[in-house]
Amino acid sequence: MAIGVVTLAGACGGDDGNTKNSTSGAKTVTVQAGNGAVKVPAGPKRIVSLSPTHTETLFAIGAGSQVVAVDDYSNVPANAPRTKLSGFKPNAEAVIAYKPDLVVLSDDLNGIVKALEKVKVPVLLEPAATKLDEAYDEINDLGQATGHAEEAKKLVDGMRADIQKTVAASPKAKGLTYYHELDNQLHSVTSTTFVGQVYALFGLRNIADAADKASGGYPQLSREHLLKQDPDLIFLADTKCCGQNAAAIAKRPGWSDLDAVQNKGVVELDDDIASRWGPRLPEFVKTIGGAVQKVQ
């Protein structure tokens, strides 16, 4: 995403316009976000995040002290100022009550973007990434918007290097198949999704691809399809939400005969890490790499 810096006209005498934060005049940073070009006051001091991924990023790049409120699902880091604000059913009045000079979110629900823009609150809409480069771009966007561009670049470079190192150290999957479970109703992801592309880094073949017709990359598999495909690896991203684990799925009708169950190919993921595209993404990649090595 393109990023530029704009100096506001009308700075008072004695201010050369180069100071990031000054009492007589302030620069603005313009970020190309999902809702267009957004002007943000340099070094915002009252940030509200309605996205767990972006909350993690803000703290990871050193902007945590500038965050005054985060949504109810933002559980990392533990010291984030968690509130009852909702990212799924955002309430403009509740957000405005925190007097934000920047609001960061990943979904424009309930008309929240226009509602905040109407009262001149800068809003950065950074949607769920659909590929790795988008995830990196969004981290850099937040860095520019908060005055932590260097820290954001360092984070991105580190993530990129860690992921590349993990993939390079892992053997190619050589036809290994996998199933990624979102919930105990057999909802999954296909190779077209962000998560699916992460698995593809290792050459794994997704058994959900053949079942996807009109689900936009998130099909619900039938029990018969899954048992017939008999995946080599099963990744459970519903350990927290739905209490699933290797022992639990082994008790499902017919599942005890699956290769993944018999050969210890069931991987219990952290739901949050597996569903976010932020700083902890390399941990998800390492988990996949470790699973591939184990079953080769």
> Per-residue pLDDT tens for 190-204?
999 999 999 999 999
Q: What is the mean pLDDT of residues 115-133?
A: 97
Q: pTM of the predicted model, to two decimals?
A: 0.89
- Statement: residue 245 has pLDDT above 90: yes
Identical topology for domains 40-159 and 170-295:
yes
Amino acid at 34: G
Domain residue spans of the chain = 40-159, 170-295
- Statement: residue 111 has pLDDT above 80: yes
Superfamily of domain 170-295: Nitrogenase molybdenum iron protein domain (3.40.50.1980)
pLDDT of residue 26: 54
Percent of the chain with pLDDT over 90: 85
pLDDT of residue 216: 85
Pick the residue with more confidence: 210 or 266? 266
Mean pLDDT of the chain: 91
pLDDT digits (tens, 9 = 90+) for 168-181: 999 888 889 999 99
User: How far is Cα 144 from Cα 138, in angstroms, rounded to an integer?
Assistant: 10
User: How far is Cα 169 from Cα 137, in angstroms, rounded to an integer?
Assistant: 26
- Statement: residue 16 has pLDDT above 60: no
C-alpha distance from residue 234 to each of 16, 18, 216, 250, 262 (Å):
59, 54, 21, 11, 11
Beta bridge partners of 151: none
State the CATH class of domain 40-159. Answer: alpha beta
pLDDT of residue 171: 86
Which helix (H) or strand (E) element contains residue 67?
strand 67-70
| Per-residue confidence band for 48, with pLDDT thresholds at 50, 70 and 90 | very high
